[in-house]
Each structure stands twice: as C-alpha cells, then as structure tokens.
C-alpha cells in the first residue's frame, strides 16, 4: 500500500483528493493547521492520519509512517483575508519548501505542487500579486530540487476550478448561490473576459492520472496545465447559471469596471495530460447542474 501526504486536506480540492485516494486504497496522511475546520472530512477522519503542522515537527509524519511515496500539495493562502505579505510567503513558499526538503531527505519519490493559472507572463492583478509571486517562487525552487536529481517535481497550473461545497468567496459559488437565493441584483463587469472552468471531479481525476503515471515521466520536472482546454466568457457562465437556476435575480453587466490589468483570456493547454490518457468529462452545463443540486441540498 502506497502512502501519500496531502496538504490542505481539509480544503475543497484537498478533501476531494483525499476521499478518492482512500477509495483507491492508498494510505493517506494529511498535514493541516490545528485551527483548520474538518467538516469536509469528518466522515473519514478515522481512516486517515492527521498532523497539525503548527504543533508538530515536519519530520514526524515521515518518521511515523514509513516511506512516503508522494506528496500532493494543495494548501495555499490567497491573501483574501488581509494577510500580511510575510504570512502569505510563509504559507505558500516557506512551508512547502521545508516540506520539500524533508521529503528529499526521506527519499520521497514525487512532489505534486498545485500552482495557479495566474502565473503567466501577463501582469498580475494587484490583489493577487503576493499570492501569485509566492507560488511562482516555490515552483522555481521545486524546479531546482528536481534538476539536482533529488526528487520528481510535478507543477500543476490549475485553472478556474468549481464544484458544490466550495467557499462562498469563490466567484462560481457566489454566482450560483446568489441565483438560487434570488438576491435582488448581482453587479458585474461587462463579462467579456474568458476563463477556463473545470469541474472538481475532472480536477481530481487528473491528479490521480498524474499520480499513477509519474513513473512514465522521464524528466524530474514537469509543468502541466489543468483545465477544460476551453475559454468561456464570464458573461456566458453567469447567464447559463442564471438560466439553469430559473433565477429572478437581475444581472447588471457593466455595473462595475474591469480590474486594473484584467486578464481577458485564460485557457489551458491540456495536450500533455491528454497524452497520458486523461480528458475532462464534465461539460460546463453538467457541472453547473451538479453545483445547483449540491448547493440546494
């Protein structure tokens, strides 16, 4: 039985990955903060081992669980709650670097890093700068570790993930929940910017495909784009969600301006993942229908 460490295992993405790993008979260890809510994994807590990183030495999970085959790093700090730059860097650069160093010492095979599609050559949104730059710095450090031959480092640039149960602060969740609740009005930009929306089940299946295929990857460092491979206008996403919920909410497109340096189009190149035999299966309409059902329960 292979043992996998998952960081951010109490979060939206991490909890889905943990459940899938258990289903596939992996031994799962999660690293979290003592303050992390565990409601997403409350029904499987007895099937996993948990360590609070704010009170446990980083080496302990490795010493107590035998060989750790892989690490799936999902934990992140977005900076949406007024965190200081130093706090964002601590969570997005320093902590995973310490984990990567420890994994290398204990001969872990592969480190799967969750990166962001914001790390492009495009000028970044001001409110995402610390987040994006801290993530970019860690992926560059991961490349150095990999190129030294110490560990395989798989960097996954994740597009606009969505699904039921995600945080209300996320755009897709806010829109669908607001439409379901029939709030009086949603003020929006003109909505011409395009995003690559990918449903959570497709995201998880891609991680599993990479986990099961890493031995076939000849290099020690890889970048993989993870999305649907299609760019959809924000306006089209919102209009579709509004229609499928039969909402009476007024959609006020153009009521607020675009952000400074708005990214007008983001679309993943999923050819590398397709070459491994992975393809997204959930259409945007089907994904929204599943979200509506999940958020309505």
pLDDT value at residue 121: 45
- The CATH homologous superfamily to which domain 3-159+198-226 belongs is NAD(P)-binding Rossmann-like Domain (3.40.50.720)
Among 26, 89, 130, 131, the active-site one is 131
- Helix residue ranges, H only, 148-227: 171-180, 200-213
pLDDT value at residue 260: 78
pLDDT in tens, 235-286: 999 999 999 999 999 999 999 999 877 888 999 999 999 999 999 999 999 9
Edge-first strand order for the sheet with 27-32 is 49-52, 27-32, 3-7, 70-73, 110-116, 152-158, 221-226
According to DSSP, the β-strands at 232-233 and 194-195 are antiparallel
* Phi, psi dihedral angles at 197 (to 5 degrees): -90, 130
pLDDT in tens, 14-26: 999 999 999 999 9
Q: Is the pLDDT of residue 120 over 50?
A: no
Q: What is the mean pLDDT of residues 142-154?
A: 95
CA distance 203 to 160: 10
Q: Are 291 and 176 in contact (CB under 8 A)?
A: yes
Q: Which of 41, 54, 57 minimizes the C-alpha distance to 9? A: 41
Residue 162 appears among annotated catalytic residues:
no
For residue 99, give the 3-state DSSP assignment: helix
**Window from 31-35, 68-72, 166-170, 199-203 with minimum mean pLDDT:** 166-170
Query: The tokens of 253 are what?
Result: 């497109």
Distance of CA 76 to the CA centre of its chain: 8
- Per domain, the residue ranges of the chain are 3-159+198-226, 162-195+229-268+282-296
Query: The tokens of 201 are what?
Result: 């089940």
Q: Are 67 and 110 in contact (CB under 8 A)?
A: no
CATH number of 162-195+229-268+282-296: 3.90.25.10
Q: What residues pair up with 194 in beta bridges, in sequence order?
A: 233, 265
């Amino acid at each position: 039985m292979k043992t996998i460490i998952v960081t951010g295992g109490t979060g939206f993405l991490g909890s889905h990955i943990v459940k899938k790993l258990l289903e596939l008979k992996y031994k799962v260890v999660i690293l979290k903060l003592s303050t992390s809510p565990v409601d997403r994994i409350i029904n499987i807590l007895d099937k996993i081992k948990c360590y609070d990183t704010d009170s446990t030495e980083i080496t302990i999970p490795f010493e107590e669980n035998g060989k750790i085959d892989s690490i799936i790093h999902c934990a992140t700090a977005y900076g949406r709650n007024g965190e200081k730059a130093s706090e964002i860097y601590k969570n997005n650069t320093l902590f995973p670097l310490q984990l990567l160093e420890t994994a290398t010492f204990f001969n872990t095979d592969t480190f799967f890093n969750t990166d962001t599609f914001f790390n492009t050559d495009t000028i970044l949104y001001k409110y995402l700068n610390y987040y994006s730059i801290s993530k970019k710095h860690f992926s560059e450090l991961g490349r150095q570790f990999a190129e030294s031959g110490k560990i395989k480092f798989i960097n996954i640039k994740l597009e606009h993930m969505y699904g039921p149960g995600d945080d209300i602060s996320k755009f897709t969740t806010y829109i669908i929940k607001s439409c379901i609740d029939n709030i009086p009005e949603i003020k929006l930009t003109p909505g011409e910017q395009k995003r690559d929306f990918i449903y959570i089940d497709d995201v998880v299946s891609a991680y599993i495909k990479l986990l099961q295929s890493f031995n076939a990857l000849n290099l020690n460092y890889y970048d993989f784009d993870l999305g649907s491979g299609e760019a959809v206008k924000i306006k089209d996403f919102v209009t579709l969600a509004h229609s499928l919920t039969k909402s009476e909410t007024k959609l006020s497109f153009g009521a607020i301006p675009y952000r400074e340096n708005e990214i007008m189009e983001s679309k993943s190149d999923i050819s590398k993942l397709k070459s491994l035999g992975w393809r997204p299966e959930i259409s945007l309409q089907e994904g929204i229908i599943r979200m509506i059902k999940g958020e309505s329960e």
